[in-house]
Chains A and B, each alone.
Chain A
Amino acid sequence: MKNLLEIKDLKINFNTEEGIVRAVRGASIRIDKNIIHGLVGESGCGKSVTARSVLNILAANAEIIGGETLYHHQGEIVDLSKLHPDGKEVRKFRWRDISMIFQEPMTSFSPVHTIGNQIMEAILLHSDLSQVAARTHAINMLERVGIPDPAKRIDEYPHQLSGGMRQRAMIAMALSGNPKLLIADEPTTALDVTIQAQIIDLMKQMKDELGMSIMIITHDMGVIAEMADYVSVMYLGKVVESAPVVELFYNPLHPYTKALLKSIPTINSKREEKLTAIAGTVPDAYCIPDGCAFYPRCSQYKPGVCDRSEPNLTEIATDHQVACIMYHGEVETDGGK
């Protein structure tokens, strides 16, 4: 079995004062063992919510209303989405099996507890290690993620560390339980560009050392190109295309993916070539259009077809899935330029 995690037709609603927001509307993602899987999309497309739902740590007003999150664990398959969010069962999987790091290294640590306190807390919670052993392990982890003088840093408070160092400490904390899957929710967005590259390298290095998978959530195609082996593209709560990273960059199929790739500059692009922005804005999550959610902005919109029914994610080629009416039945070979 090479599957590690399968998210199948996941649906999540937010109950707000203004009404119900359908944040995730049937997303399907498969993450294999020992790979880096990128989840990319504009802000508000539901990618972070999908990621958090894996650990079942959604906000109080969010509700998983359908689908499965199957985690392959020692030959057994557990549906994480069906476990009680505060129950013992799901808590056993958190950090031990699936661990998570976040966008804001500043606020993701409690400001009034030392770094060491917060790392050791997780270690002590999930193992029988003694205080001393847990501390040694924490110092060891801090050293492995490249924090200088870890024996001193461990007793410092988050505000005494720089942003990059905090994110390293965050990674150390997340990896100190040797998880099978690390979910990284926009881990580089809040950092300087040079620090971003260091953190990306660190994550790749740790993935090889520990033999785990990483699910990286980002809106940055550059990060995807840099890190990911496999990519899922999300638009308005649905995965619209899934493919290995090379395939996706050279042969994007969904109009949204194509538009997304055209909107970023590459080092090879000629000076006179213009970047194209995607027309229109992301529709309001309260009134998602009928049919394909992308049709109001789509350049290949077919009236009477696209606004009727929503296409499902269908396998077009090996490992390449797309949710667009154009590819139902036959594969169009017109690739990206």
Chain B
Amino acid sequence: MLNYIIKRFIYMIPTLLLISLVVFIVIQLPPGDWLTAYVASLRESGDEIDPITVELLRERYGFNQPFFTKYLNWISGVLQGDFGYSFGWRKPVGELIWDRLGLTLVVSVSTLLFTWIVSFAIGLYSATHQYSFGDYLATFLGFIGLATPNFMLALILMYLAYKYFGLSVSGLFSIQYAMAPWSWAKFVDLLKHLWIPIIVIGTAGTASLIRVLRANLLDELGKPYVVTARAKGLSYLRLLFKYPVRIALIPFVSTVGWTFAGLISGSVITGIVLNLPTTGPMLLQALKTQDMYLAGSFLLFLSIITVIGTLVSDLLLAIIDPRIRYE
């Protein structure tokens, strides 16, 4: 088991390096650089900027260096905790991202828990009550959940909350807590706001996990070992949880890695629509203005979180499935 964990950690290193390279390529892709975008936006508002100043700035920020020099500078900075400078915010990236990444993680992990609990309960019910009304209802809602884009759901929920309760449900904090330091009251306030993004981000994942669990469980319920267990005189509930549920959870856990990637993805777009203080809105802004180090750091960390999520799910998988451990 320990070997397996070590092996997985070692596997992670080239993956992360490759990700950093891809991220850097992506943020370098747009023609021109932040200064080009900046000059263009100045020109739109009627201002002109001296071309010599632009060249000097370009020199200072190192925009003229060859690609690999720039990449090496960036990645060695990142490894030492220096993520570069945000031109748009005129601040080091390190000062900007942690709060937002932290809240993204809070939203994603609580959504994952929500997704797990809800899909487990509904999937279990659906499989053990196949073709019942509840099963059909769950299947139907699951299909709708899968077909609705996150931002649509966010807009609909916001609209309903506004129309029927007069609530404005955007953001993660009420105004009085938004800037305040962390306190118990702020935490409670966070919980009050958290449910909308959780539902919005979690619905698609929940729907697909319900389908996975239901199919697996139905498959497992027909396996010979279930008959063996019945022949031993086990009661239905005890049997259900010890054998088929346990085994049906294996693919359930293995898909959680991808589900988590989906949740991170979903949290970005939902964050934009619901105007959450998470990565979404700032990333979109940074991408649009070619604020490359800010965008790059977000992309890098979102990918790292996903890779770690996948790693955790693989380790969980090894814990519940002895066949993987002994490979």
Contact = CB atoms under 8 A, between A and B. Distances in A.
A55 B229 CA distance: 12
Most A CB within 10 A of own CB, among B227, B232, B250:
B232
Interface in A223-256: none
A94 B224 contact: no
Chain A binding surface SS class:
mixed
Interface string B205-225: 000000000000000000111
Contacts, number: 76
B246 A112 contact: yes
B228 A86 contact: no
Interface in B200-255: 223-225, 227-236, 242-243, 246-247, 250
A91 B321 contact: no
B233 A108 contact: no
B231 A99 contact: yes
Interface in B294-327: 320-323, 326
A125 interface: yes
Chain B binding surface SS class:
helix
Most B CB within 10 A of own CB, among A86, A100, A111, A126:
A111
Contacts of A126: 233
B3 to A, nearest CB: 18
A292 to B, nearest CB: 32
Interface in B144-202: none
Interface string A101-113: 0111001111111
Contact of A122 (B233, B320, B322): B233
B322 A121 contact: no
Contacts of A55: 230-231
A96 interface: yes
A92 interface: yes
B233 A125 contact: yes
A111 B250 CA distance: 11
Given A104-B224, A160-B326, A110 B231 contact: no
A52 interface: yes
Contacts of A104: 224
Contacts of A122: 232-233
A118 B322 CA distance: 15
A107 B224 contact: yes
A121 B235 CA distance: 12
A57 B323 contact: no
A91 B247 contact: no
A94 B247 contact: no
Contacts of A157: 322-323, 326
Interface in A67-123: 86, 91-96, 99-100, 102-104, 107-113, 118, 121-122
A287 to B, nearest CB: 26
B247 A110 contact: yes
Interface residues of B, number: 23
A212 to B, nearest CB: 15
A57 B231 contact: yes
A48 to B, nearest CB: 10
A109 B233 contact: no
A188 B234 CA distance: 25
A108 B242 CA distance: 15
Contacts of A8: none
A102 B228 contact: yes
A23 B301 CA distance: 61
Contacts of A57: 227, 230-231
A102 B224 contact: yes
B305 to A, nearest CB: 29
A86 B323 contact: no
A126 B231 CA distance: 12
A94 B326 contact: no
A247 to B, nearest CB: 32
Contacts of A91: 233-235
Contacts of A96: 233
A52 B231 CA distance: 9
A86 B236 contact: yes
Nearest to B220: A110
A159 interface: yes
Interface string A126-169: 10000000000000000000000000000001011000000000
A102 B246 CA distance: 22
Given A52-B227, A94-B230, A102-B227, A112 B321 contact: yes
A157 B321 CA distance: 11
Contacts of A86: 235-236
Interface of A: 52, 55, 57, 86, 91-96, 99-100, 102-104, 107-113, 118, 121-122, 125-126, 157, 159-160, 170, 173-174
Given A94-B233, A99-B231, 9 more contacts: A91-B233, A102-B227, A107-B224, A110-B243, A111-B247, A118-B228, A122-B232, A157-B323, A160-B326
Interface of B: 223-225, 227-236, 242-243, 246-247, 250, 320-323, 326
24 contacts: A86-B235, A86-B236, A92-B233, A95-B232, A99-B231, A100-B228, A102-B224, A103-B224, A104-B224, A107-B224, A108-B224, A110-B225, A110-B242, A110-B247, A111-B247, A112-B247, A112-B321, A118-B228, A121-B242, A125-B234, A157-B322, A157-B326, A170-B228, A173-B232
Closest 4 CB pairs of A and B: A94-B233, A91-B233, A122-B232, A100-B231
